[in-house]
Structure 1
Amino acid sequence: MIGDLLSILLFCLACFAFWQQRRQSEIAKTRISRKCDELELQLLSVSFGQHKWKTPDNRWRWHTVYYFEFSALGDDCYQGHLVMQGFRPQAFHLPPHRML
């Protein structure tokens, strides 16, 4: 009886974590797309990077890194990344790229 209850609770917790990860992923894709539009860059792809415990400034915070590829002139490809804490973007990193 208690074992069944705990397994149902664990299953619900896993579903909730998956749902929250999907929500964060959609927000990250929207923010990356908006940033590329602002800078007049062509967004090529977005991918989930990894979860990390330490931020780039050596603080202990759970965060997620999303990688994306973009093109500045149409014949090149650069890789940037976005750091998300919860549902808020914390840092965009765009490498130096050619401009018109």
Structure 2
Amino acid sequence: MDEVETLQALRASATGRAQPLRTIRHVHVADKPFGIVAYHLAGDEGAPLAFMFGTDPDPAAATVVVVPEPRNRELRFEALAEFGEALNN
């Protein structure tokens, strides 16, 4: 049983009515979902070049964090800290 099937089983139990399993395969878990796009060096997922993230559907409203030199650990961790702060707020 996957996550959607488990959720639908819980909903069925709570409402006393059968819930559809195959007509939908997505579930809205938040009113304003947090979208994330990350771009990294080829072959090195641990060296991010940039992050774009936000809750607004308009890409122009997204926050962009760029790492000017992804091989520099200090710059990398500064960018990750900025992203982490936004993620936790």
Q: Report the TM-score when normalising by structure 1.
A: 0.29
Structure with greater strand share of residues: 1
Larger Rg: 2
